[in-house]
Amino acid sequence: MERLTERYVPNNEKKGIAGIKVFESENKTPLVKVLSGEYLYPAIEKLADYEELEERLHKIFGEESTFSLADVIDALEMKLSEPDKKHPVNARILTYEEANKWQEYKDLEEQGLLVRLPCKVGDMLWYNILGYTESYEIKAFSYGYCDGYIEAGEEIRDEIIFYCENHTGSIIGSFPVSGIGKTVFLTREEAEKKLEEIQNDKT
């Protein structure tokens, strides 16, 4: 980052005396030297303060970064006025613990060991049964069928299996993750649309 100002202390330093040199953009010969107390000093000092903040910003993002204070203000204004809108510089400050956890997830993802489930325990899923749409709550899941939950009608060992319970709390069925969107649905609307398609095919 090329600066237009440089703080300095005059040779005849006295208590409270400070100065700022002002340069041309491509010439390091000072155009003017302004001492504290002179009428231009407050304006020149604001420019120096701004450039020092820009320098600190470049140390954070790298000297080659074009990220500026104006970008920071733009991002803050957008975040405050449109909190749900995505922005390329949206960020948050992480604790060391959070940063380590994020890195752990990132490493697992790169190794292909991070599994993203389409739903979780406690979610409601929808089935079409005998021409009606019914909802069931996910009680548990396992990798491959787990005999402790339900007797497997079909042996599946290499897929995530979800187990559902009815309103009484009893586990009444299971389905593989590959069945979502085919025989079981994440929303009632999806289930009803599928049911309508099935009924239309029969007519």
Lowest mean pLDDT among 4-13, 60-69, 143-152, 167-176: 143-152
Domain membership of residue 98 (yes or no) is: no
Q: Confidence class of residue 77 from pLDDT cuts 50, 70 and 90? A: confident
- Report the alpha-carbon distance of residue 143 to residue 113 in Å, rounded: 13
Encode pLDDT of 103-131 as tens digits.
999 999 899 888 888 888 888 888 887 77
Lowest mean pLDDT among 3-12, 43-52, 185-194: 3-12
Residue 49 CA to residue 62 CA, distance in Å, equals: 19
Using DSSP's 3-state secondary structure scheme, residue 36 falls into coil
**89, part of any domain:** no
Task: Please indicate, yes or no, if residue 45 is contained in any of the structural domains.
Answer: yes
Burial of 44 per CB tally in 10 Å (0-12, 13-18, 19+): buried
Query: How many domains does the chain contain in total?
Result: 2
* pTM of the entire predicted model: 0.46
Q: Is 5 helix (H, G, I), strand (E, B) or coil?
A: strand
**Distant-in-sequence contacts of 25-30, Cβ < 8 A, 24+ apart:** 30/6
Q: Based on the fold, state whether residues 15 and 66 are members of the same structural domain.
A: yes
* Mean pLDDT, rounded, for 13-24: 69
Residue 154: predicted pLDDT: 57
Closest CA to 125 of 169, 195, 183: 183
Band of the pLDDT at 27, cuts 50, 70, 90? low
Domain membership flag for residue 95: no
- Indicate whether 134 belongs to any domain: yes
| Top mean-pLDDT range of 52-61, 84-93, 154-163 | 52-61
More confident residue, 109 or 19: 109
Per residue in 152-180, pLDDT (tens digit) is 555 666 788 888 887 666 667 788 888 88
Answer yes or no: is 111 within a domain.
no
Residue 23 lies in a domain: yes
**Residue 50 domain flag:** yes
Mean pLDDT of all residues belonging to the chain: 77
Whole-Å CA distances, 150 to 123, 128, 164: 19, 21, 10
Residue 28's domain spans which residues?
A: 5-81
- pLDDT > 70? residue 8: yes
128 and 60 in a common domain: no
Give the residue-averaged pLDDT of 85-104: 71
Residue that is last in its domain, among 27, 59, 81: 81
As a whole number of angstroms, the longest Cα–Cα distance in the chain is 100
